[in-house]
Amino acid sequence: MKIAELELRTISLPLVRPFRTSFGTQIAREVLILKLTTDDGTVGWSECVALPQPLYSPEYVAGALDLMRRFLIPTLFQAGDIRAESVAPLLAPFLGSPMAKAALESALLDAQLRLENRSLADFLGASKAKIPCGVSVGIAPSIPLLIEEVSGYIADGYRRIKLKIEPGWDIDPVGEVRRTWPEIPLQVDANQAYSRGDGELLAKLDQFELLLIEQPLDEHDILGHALLAKQVHTPICLDESITSLRSAEDALALKATTVINIKPGRVGGYLEAVKIHNLCLNSGIPVWCGGMLETGIGRAANVALAALPGFTLPGDTSASSRFYHQDITEPFVMEDGYLAVPQSVGIGRVPHLDFLDSVTSHKETIRI
């Protein structure tokens, strides 16, 4: 299979409500959508999960676009006959940027599977036809407004609630949600907002019987997470720190994490994500599928991944309506707290082209 053409477009989709985290507020999703065409005319779609600003990770939309244009795409073109499995080794000399690399690998994988008449779920090794859904809840303007927002998600049927926290927005809001819903599976995500000295404060969360505390410290502070894990009973779960299979092996060996959030974009693609899943499955470490506010394109692939047997905790795999009034694909609609795993070829979704065009702010095509 040869890549004949790559279409890169930036789209902007307004969010149904602002999404505030410890590092900033997103009001729209500016996202890079890739359309790859092979030499026999087969098309594959993907999205790059980099945010517009380098705040969650060093990658950002305009940077990813530049890197793809300047280095990554020419390298794939030069390689001639390739498969999705060759993308990571070919792009390895270019350091970092797992999200940009993942987007290219995913687009090629979608095309490859369409050519082979196979679904991504089948290719990855999915063992479930539907997956339970969690929802990630941003930092709210007040505790009553938080309770109101969470009430809506509980009414929608979500099976797990994740609350974003930061210093000053932690014990009180989490306590109020726990008091209101004593039984709901609940977890928190700090996006690196705390420091090593905050162990005593974070241990106050133990009383709320949370599933986990996600990424409390700096992404590079593996030792700090290991020390914190001795101070806090709630399991520590790494997100930003896990950028590859090797970093997962290291964090587990150093006892810095006992649960892992797998985000394919953060680790360089679905193939690396499966390797981390396999490592964790063999080590008895639960994993769950993270989210980056994906459109239906990225969400379709995440839902397939989340159907693998080691994904034993509900992920941030919510319905399209959690973030978007209108998705660029047929929307993901939750039924009784579950999403159906797409079973048709490739990722099982394609964009609605008229709508995609209507939200596109930039489009370019690179040909061999």
Residues at the site binding Mg ion, with contacts judged by CB under 5 A:
189, 214, 239
Residue 241 in contact with ligand SMG, rule: CB under 6 A: no
Cα angle at 174 between 170 and 177, to 5 degrees? 155
Q: Exposure string (b/e) for 64-95, b if CB count within 10 Å is 16 or more?
A: bbebbeeebbeebbeeeebebeebbebbeeee
Name residue, tokens 């404060």: 201
Q: Which does 337 bind (CB under 5 to 8 A by kind): ligand SMG, Mg ion, none?
A: none
333: its two tokens: 């609609």
Q: Which stretch binds ligand SMG (CB under 6 A): 69-77, 107-115, 286-294, 304-312?
A: 286-294
Name residue, tokens 């999915």: 126
Residue type, 6: L
Asked whether the beta carbons of 342 and 304 are under 8 A apart, the reply is yes
As measured in angstroms, the least distance from the Cβ of 76 to ligand SMG is: 27
Whether 101 sits among the annotated catalytic residues: the reply is no
SS3 category, 161 = strand
* Position among 10, 21, 46, 241 found at the interface with ligand SMG (CB under 6 A): 21
Q: Is the dihedral of CA 83, 88, 91, 92 positive or negative?
A: negative
* Position among 98, 264, 290, 348 found at the interface with ligand SMG (CB under 6 A): 290
Kindly identify the residues of this chain, within the stretch 82-141, that bind ligand SMG according to CB under 6 A: 136
Residue 191 in contact with ligand SMG, rule: CB under 6 A: yes
* Position among 10, 22, 26, 37 found at the interface with ligand SMG (CB under 6 A): 26
From the candidates 35, 101, 162, 263, which is the catalytic residue?
263
Give the per-residue contact string, 298-337, with ligand SMG (x = CB under 6 A; - = no).
------------------x-x-------------------
Asked whether the beta carbons of 267 and 238 are under 8 A apart, the reply is no
Whether 263 sits among the annotated catalytic residues: the reply is yes
SS3 category, 366 = strand
| Residue ranges binding ligand SMG (CB under 6 A) | 19, 21, 26, 51, 56, 136, 189, 191, 239, 290-294, 316, 318
- Residues annotated catalytic, as ranges: 164, 263
